[in-house]
């Protein structure tokens, strides 16, 4: 494709925004057909490329504030943006056009025929979900990068690496990144997630764990053990209330730096912190147990069962990681939640508790992932199309399966016959556990499980979501439904206080 657009011998520079393997794999091929090219990138990026290319090439190391004059008014200014979402990421700003090239930042997994962000309403859910999955765990890095952007000229277009280019709504969408990141960075507690870039599945598994943590309102800082320095690692561990550590390789490049950083972590931890570990499935992982024992000897308690990856990670593996992260975040947030519950005025608490609702079980399936939750905050919201709302806590495992466009089943429980199902789904499931084990189900047309013992069920599609403090209000359209017992009544949940379900 490239040679059909430009003769290779006419290329002078190749600017590398980041070296994530699935994005930078063709660099070596390009240098073979265009050896005159000067590769431009951050210090860390060029170091990674040395290991990828395995032979000398022309290079230009750049950092924030440095410029490259391409002629005809096109002066490219660079901005370091580490961890967005790769440790060596840089942004590039063309002073001649006002175009900002941002790599993964400000992107979204959304595909349409539009080149630009013409329909803000259509892209909003995906833009937010992309941020939460990839950027929220790096909120401090987002704010640092955006502070550097303020020193550039006017940004006319954000040329991201995924989804439509941001042109018509760029100011608003940039503002949202800043707003979301400011809120995330103010979290009272923070977990340091240490991973090894370009090794096995360490980066992807760490992102899934971090996603689970941020759902609970706990902050996250992602740290690449391959590129971070000892002082940075020590400072982050001192601020952290929890540690997540991906298993490093036993051999290979940068082993000395990685080993030194792990030693720094061990020296800096304290007995008030918790830790979780996961295998990277890189083929040469250091064993978990000996390293975990060292942390236990230092008084650090385990936040979730160690994640042992024995095969190529699947959707279920990433679900296990996300749910493990959520368990960790909930553990760290427990004291805060208890304090909040006790702070509510007792009379107000009792009054709110008189708001009653039915009893329902939400079931969902996306790909190979299934989940469920007991719900009582459900209300019809429209006649045409028939629709209703559900309040879903942000830290619920099923929340990830209830994005705009997702489908699920609302199972309505029957008065006098709901106890066994309610008891089953109130259990605290271990990360990755099958929530439907021992429960009779059928498969709905949309693929989600129907509980055979439910009074009725509705098949639904999520149309919109609204953020409400610690919950999402999910508005869904009903596409199908059946009643098993026409004489049955919906089970009703009566509370006495309003500080819990």
Residue 145 belongs to domain with CATH number: 3.60.15.10
In a domain, 264, yes or no: yes
Contact 194, 232 (CB under 8 A): no
In a domain, 345, yes or no: no
Same domain, 315 and 196: yes
Same domain, 294 and 326: yes
> Would you state the pLDDT for residue 23?
73
Same domain, 49 and 69: no
- DSSP string spanning 48-75? HHHHHH-S--EEEE--TT-EEE-STT-E
Q: What is the 3-state secondary structure (H, E, C) of 208-259?
A: HHHHHHHCCCCEEEEEECCCCCHHHHHHHHHHCCEEEEECCECCCCCHHHHH
Interacting residues of 133 by C-beta distance below 8 A, sequence separation 6+: 207, 211
Q: What is the CATH number of the domain that holds 303?
A: 3.40.50.360
Q: What is the 3-state secondary structure (H, E, C) of 137-198?
A: HHHHHHHHHHHHHCCCCCCCEEEECCCCEECCCHHHHHHHHHHHHHHHHCCCCEEEEEECCC
Same domain, 303 and 411: no
pLDDT at 403 over 90: yes
Same domain, 333 and 359: no
SS3 at position 437: coil
pLDDT-based confidence at residue 52 (cuts at 50, 70, 90): confident
Contact 394, 218 (CB under 8 A): no
- The domain boundary, picked from 137, 156, 186, lies at 186
Could you read off the pLDDT of 251-267 as tens digits, one per residue?
A: 987 889 999 999 999 99
- The domain boundary, picked from 151, 167, 186, lies at 186
SS3 at position 478: strand
Give the Cα separation of 234 and 268 in Å (integer).
Answer: 6
- The domain boundary, picked from 304, 339, 374, lies at 339
Same domain, 73 and 2: no
Contact 449, 363 (CB under 8 A): yes
- Read off the pLDDT of each residue in 441-468 and give the average, rounded to a whole number: 97
Give the Cα separation of 125 and 289 in Å (integer).
Answer: 41
Same domain, 157 and 239: no
Same domain, 97 and 165: yes
Name which of 243-247, 390-394, 495-499 the model is least confident about: 495-499
pLDDT-based confidence at residue 197 (cuts at 50, 70, 90): confident
The answer to whether the peptide bond before residue 417 is cis (omega within 30 degrees of 0) is no
Q: What is the largest CA-CA distance in the chain?
A: 80
Same domain, 177 and 195: no
In a domain, 69, yes or no: yes
In a domain, 288, yes or no: yes
Total count of domains within the chain? 4
Looking up tokens 């391409």, which residue turns up?
Answer: 70
Give the Cα separation of 157 and 93 in Å (integer).
Answer: 10
In a domain, 498, yes or no: no
Could you read off the pLDDT of 81-123 as tens digits, one per residue?
A: 998 888 899 999 999 999 999 999 999 999 999 999 999 999 9
In a domain, 499, yes or no: no
Interacting residues of 284 by C-beta distance below 8 A, sequence separation 6+: 249, 250, 251, 252
> Would you state the pLDDT for residue 435?
96
Give the Cα separation of 212 and 210 in Å (integer).
Answer: 5
Q: What is the CATH number of the domain that holds 410?
A: 2.30.110.10
> Would you state the pLDDT for residue 293?
96
> Would you state the pLDDT for residue 252?
84
Same domain, 98 and 28: no
In a domain, 501, yes or no: no
Mean pLDDT, rounded, of the chain: 94
**pTM (2 decimals)?**
0.85
pLDDT at 74 over 80: yes
> Would you state the pLDDT for residue 170?
96
Same domain, 305 and 192: yes
Give the domain extent around 7.
Answer: 1-61
Same domain, 103 and 122: yes
């Amino acid at each position: 494709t490239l040679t059909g657009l430009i003769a290779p011998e006419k290329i002078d520079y190749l600017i590398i925004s980041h070296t994530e393997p699935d994005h930078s794999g063709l660099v070596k091929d390009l240098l073979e057909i265009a050896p005159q090219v000067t590769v431009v990138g951050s210090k860390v990026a060029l170091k990674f490329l040395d290991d990828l290319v395995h032979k000398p090439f022309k290079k230009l190391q750049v950092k924030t504030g440095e410029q490259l004059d391409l002629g005809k008014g096109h002066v490219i200014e660079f901005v370091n943006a580490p961890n967005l979402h790769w440790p060596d990421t840089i942004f590039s700003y063309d002073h001649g056009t006002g175009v900002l090239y941002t790599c993964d930042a400000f992107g979204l997994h959304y595909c349409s025929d539009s080149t630009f962000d013409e329909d803000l309403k259509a892209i909003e859910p995906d833009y937010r979900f992309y941020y939460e999955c990839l950027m929220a765990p790096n909120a401090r890095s987002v704010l640092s990068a955006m502070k550097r952007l303020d020193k550039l000229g006017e940004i006319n277009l954000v040329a991201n690496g995924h989804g439509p280019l941001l042109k018509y709504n760029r100011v608003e969408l940039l503002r949202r990144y800043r707003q979301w990141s400011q809120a995330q960075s103010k979290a009272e507690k923070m977990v340091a997630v240490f991973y090894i870039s370009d090794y096995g599945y360490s980066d992807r598994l760490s992102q899934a764990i971090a996603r689970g943590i941020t759902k609970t309102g706990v902050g996250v800082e992602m740290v690449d053990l391959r590129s971070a320095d000892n002082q940075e690692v020590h400072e982050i561990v001192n601020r952290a209330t929890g540690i997540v550590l991906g298993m490093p390789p036993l051999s290979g490049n940068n082993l000395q730096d990685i080993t030194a950083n792990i030693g720094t972590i061990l020296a800096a931890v304290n007995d008030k912190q918790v830790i979780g570990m996961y295998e990277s499935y890189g083929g040469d992982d250091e064993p978990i147990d000996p390293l975990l024992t060292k942390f236990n000897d230092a008084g650090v308690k385990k936040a979730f069962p160690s994640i042992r990856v024995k095969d190529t990670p699947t959707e279920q593996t990433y679900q296990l990681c996300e749910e493990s992260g959520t368990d960790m975040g909930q553990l760290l947030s427990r004291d805060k939640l208890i304090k909040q519950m006790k702070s509510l005025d007792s009379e107000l608490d009792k009054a709110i508790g008189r708001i009653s609702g039915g009893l329902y079980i939400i079931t969902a399936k996306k790909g190979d992932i299934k989940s469920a939750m007991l719900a009582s905050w459900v209300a019809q919201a429209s006649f045409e199309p028939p629709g209703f709302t559900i309040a879903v806590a942000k830290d619920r495992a099923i929340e990830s399966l209830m994005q705009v466009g997702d489908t699920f089943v609302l199972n309505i429980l029957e008065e006098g016959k709901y106890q066994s199902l309610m008891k089953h789904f109130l259990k605290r499931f271990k990360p990755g556990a099958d929530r439907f084990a021992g429960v009779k189900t059928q498969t709905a047309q949309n693929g989600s499980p129907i509980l055979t013992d439910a009074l009725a069920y509705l098949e639904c599609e999520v149309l919109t979501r609204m953020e409400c403090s610690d919950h999402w209000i999910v508005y869904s359209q009903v596409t199908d439904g059946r009643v098993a017992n026409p004489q049955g009544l919906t089970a009703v949940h009566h509370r006495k206080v309003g500080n819990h379900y």
